[in-house]
Amino acid sequence: MMKEEKKEKNAFAKRSLREEWKLFTRAVKIWNELLPGFFVCQLFQIAFEAFQPYFELYMSARLINELASGSGAERLLFLAAVTVSGSFLFSAAGRILRARLNVMESFMMEQHEEYILRMQNRHQYKYMEDPDIVLLQSGIRNDFFSFGGGLYAIRWMSAEMLWGIFDLIFSVSLTVSMFTVSAQGNYSGFFAFINSPFSAALIVLMIVVNAWLSIKISTTSTRKSQEALNGLSESNTRYHTYSSLWSRDMIVFDLHRIVLEEMRKHQLHPEWVSKKEKVEIKYGTFSVILEAALNIAIFLFVAAKAFIGVFGIGSFILYQGTVGRFVRAVSKLASTIGRLRYNNGFLVRLYSYLDLPNDMYRGSLAVEKRDDIDYEIEFRDVSFKYPGTDSWVLRHVDMKFRIGDKLAVVGENGSGKTTFIKLLCRLYDPTEGKILLNGIDITRYRYDEYLALFSAVFQDYTLFAFPLGENVAAELSYDAAKVRDCLIRVGLEEKLAELDAAGTDALEKAIGKAYDAEGIDFSGGEVQKIALARAIYKDAPFVVLDEPTAALDPLAEEAVYEAFNRIVKNRTSVFISHRLSSCRFCDMIAVFDHGQIVQKGAHDALVAQKDGKYFQLWTAQAKYYADQGA
């Protein structure tokens, strides 16, 4: 059985009522933190709206009984006035609270997404590269978008539960006297049984059995309905992914034919729908039969008691109305509990993701704030292998560099360059060995303060559909003059002038048109420069460029690296590349091969070592920069 199948089985395994309750209440607590007062408002709104029909039934029964007993017009008018005014007040209160809830519910989607993102940002970086965790994260999103399950479903499940609970409370309150009163006189046969406590006990037993069966039926029906659509989750994701495809290749190669055919494969298949319908018809029929049987039994019980004179016509109408509501409340509450228990399976998966442990040690030592930014980093016999693997990615790496050094890390793909940077930025900790900052193990420093020492532009850097200024500063509030200076320093002065000339502040222009028709589509080179400007804006002591210009040709990449080197001035710069020509200006070049540093030194010295790895790589790449005197 595959790992994901095991997770699926565990998520929907049988649980005790206590475990079910804990899962549900945790979700309620989360929503209460996200939207304080939501459940209190929901409680009172449902209480008022649920009580209104029972109040009207009770007052109507009183009016009929008073009328039957010959009460005067004054008494009847008073009861009618109480009925109308009370009904109006309960209705008005419910509507006011409902309007408030509508406003709060309009924020629930955004709050849900923000909460998941906020919790996700607390996770260690290693989970972003763990296939099982990525699959779990994808499954959680499918739970939400395909089935509406998980945390988001609690908002309506809690409402249905409250409706069922209040219906039970109010209906029981008004009908309990029906079971406790009996007629005077001697009766035989059926009416003797109706007039005895045994009939009431039988009705109560039928209600309990009906509730238990309803819960079982609802739980089984929900589970089997989802099983009938077990292929929908993945297909739904792929269908919507295909439907959003749009590119120049689609037009040039007429790829619509292929995309449409793939979309058809992942539509809601008729056999899925058929299976789901059969399940719902089968179990829905059981529910209807149970509810109908209980309704008939209670109606006969009430009618027989009224016939032998236990209560009057008004009370008969009251009991008949409230008992019908009671039966529906039991069925509805049982059904809700069944769906809630199944939804708890989605919550189990969500909580397993939210509760991923953060076992990275975070020290308490403050990073010394130095005006001279005099910091020294040392890798001391560092080895590393990724979690869950047995192969070493780095082995016995020793490296020391001080502020102002220009370090290049070169090597073939897969040689360990990017892993070296991940350890430097403490996205991972070494499996063996230590990394020291000014002679102190970096794990002893406060994590956020250590990260603040670094500014990086990775190969897969991300710019967002936000205003240009926010993208550069990575802040909502920023120093506009500083942002402009950074953009000018990376060579975007003419672009800024062009955007400003259009009549609006260039920094307020959104990047791309995804969410703003007035957004600007920057060229590939301009986007890279914006990412470089972001690195400069942070003004950190260490600047890392991890092949952000890999898509450029070697000469263009070299020009970008040399320009960036001039811009960062006395900052420590680490340049990652598999192209040797791009990093010839660096003070130190570290050559990686199969996870080890096999050579260190300046460019000229390394080229002179004819039997070294650097000379081998340099010779192989010479065709790209032969005109530079290689």
Tell me the DSSP string of 307-351.
Answer: HTTSS-HHHHHHHHHHHHHHHHHHHHHHHHHHHHHHHHHHHHHHH
pLDDT in tens, 114-144: 888 888 888 888 888 888 888 788 778 777 7
pLDDT in tens, 151-188: 888 988 899 889 989 998 998 888 777 777 666 667 67
577: which strand partners?
410
How does residue 479 score in pLDDT terms, banded at 50, 70 and 90?
very high
Is residue 11 over pLDDT 70?
Answer: no
pLDDT in tens, 400-411: 887 788 899 998
Is residue 228 over pLDDT 60?
Answer: no
Question: What pLDDT, on the 0 to 100 scale, is given for residue 5?
Answer: 41
Instruction: Work out the average pLDDT over 416-441.
Output: 93
Task: Report the first-to-last Cα separation within the chain, whole angstroms.
Answer: 57
Tokens of 408: 């290049």
Q: What percent of the chain has pLDDT over 90?
A: 25
Q: Which domains does the chain have, with CATH numbers?
A: 14-35+107-218+285-354 (no CATH), 372-453+542-630 (3.40.50.300), 463-539 (no CATH)
pLDDT in tens, 583-629: 888 889 999 999 999 999 999 999 999 999 999 888 887 765 554 44
How does residue 4 score in pLDDT terms, banded at 50, 70 and 90?
very low
Is residue 81 over pLDDT 80?
Answer: yes
29 or 578: which leads in pLDDT: 29
Question: What pLDDT, on the 0 to 100 scale, is given for residue 628?
Answer: 47
How does residue 274 score in pLDDT terms, banded at 50, 70 and 90?
low
CA atoms within 13 A on the CB side of 508: 5
pTM across the whole model: 0.72
Instruction: Work out the average pLDDT over 16-20.
Output: 85
Q: What percent of the chain has pLDDT over 70?
A: 83
CB 619 within 8 A of CB 581: no
411: which strand partners?
592
Q: How far apart are CA 529 and CA 532, in angstroms?
A: 5
3-state DSSP of 33-58: HHCCCHHHHHHHHHHHHHHHHHHHHH
Question: What pLDDT, on the 0 to 100 scale, is given for residue 227?
Answer: 60
- Highest average pLDDT, of 46-50, 510-514, 562-566, comes from 46-50
Instruction: Work out the average pLDDT over 534-547.
Output: 88
Calculate the average pLDDT of the chain: 81
Q: How far apart are CA 26 and CA 339, in angstroms?
A: 17
3-state DSSP of 343-391: HHHHHHHHHHHHCCCCCCCCCCECCCCCCCCCCEEEEEEEEECCCCCCC
- Highest average pLDDT, of 103-112, 397-406, 437-446, 617-626, comes from 437-446
Instruction: Work out the average pLDDT over 214-243.
Output: 58
Instruction: Work out the average pLDDT over 344-350.
Output: 88
153 or 200: which leads in pLDDT: 153
231 or 31: which leads in pLDDT: 31
Is residue 307 over pLDDT 70?
Answer: yes
Question: What pLDDT, on the 0 to 100 scale, is given for residue 42?
Answer: 94
Q: How far apart are CA 141 and CA 135, in angstroms?
A: 10
Q: How far apart are CA 391 and CA 581, in angstroms?
A: 31
pLDDT in tens, 493-502: 889 998 888 7
176 or 43: which leads in pLDDT: 43
Question: What pLDDT, on the 0 to 100 scale, is given for residue 229?
Answer: 52
Residue type, 525: G
Helix (H) or strand (E) holding 396: strand 394-402
Question: What pLDDT, on the 0 to 100 scale, is given for residue 252?
Answer: 56
Q: How many helices (H) and strands (E) would you count in the chain?
A: 23, 10
Question: What pLDDT, on the 0 to 100 scale, is given for residue 190?
Answer: 78
Is residue 256 over pLDDT 70?
Answer: no
How does residue 481 score in pLDDT terms, banded at 50, 70 and 90?
very high
The sign of the CA dihedral 57, 59, 64, 65 is positive
> Measured in whole angstroms, how far is the alpha carbon of residue 296 from the centre of its chain?
47
